[in-house]
Amino acid sequence: MSTHLTERPFGRALCAMVTPFGPDGELDLDAAAKLAAGLVAEGCDGLVLNGTTGESPTTSDAEKEALIRAVREAVGPGPALVAGVGTADTRHTVELARQAEAAGADGVLVIPPYYSKPPQAAVEAHFLRVADATGLPVMLYDIPGRTATRIEPETMIRLAEHPRIVAVKDCAYDLLGTTKVLARTGLAYYSGCEELNLPLYAVGGSGYVSTVANVAPRPLRAVLDAYDRGETAEAARLNALNLPLAELMMASGLPGAVTVKALLGMTLREPLQPAGREATDGLRAAYEDLVQSYT
Closest CA to 19 of 249, 212, 217, 257: 257
**With 70 as the cut, is the pLDDT of residue 13 above it?**
yes
Classify residue 285 as left (phi > 0), alpha (psi -120 to 50) or beta.
alpha
Across the range 141-169, mean pLDDT stands at 97
**With 50 as the cut, is the pLDDT of residue 2 above it?**
no
What's this model's pTM, rounded to 2 decimal places?
Answer: 0.95
pLDDT band at 3 (very low <50, low <70, confident <90, very high): very low
Bridge partners, 83 (sequence order): 49, 108
**With 80 as the cut, is the pLDDT of residue 17 above it?**
yes
Whole-angstrom CA distances from 227 to 160, 164, 198, 205 are 27, 29, 8, 12
Could you count the other beta carbons within 10 Å of the beta carbon of residue 285? 13
How would you class 148 by CB atoms within 10 Å of its CB: exposed for 0-12, middle for 13-18, buried for 19 or more?
Answer: middle
Is 34 part of the annotated catalytic residue set?
no
In the set 169, 189, 201, 227, the catalytic residue is 169
In the set 141, 189, 201, 227, the catalytic residue is 141
Is 141 part of the annotated catalytic residue set?
yes
Give the per-residue pLDDT at 6: 45
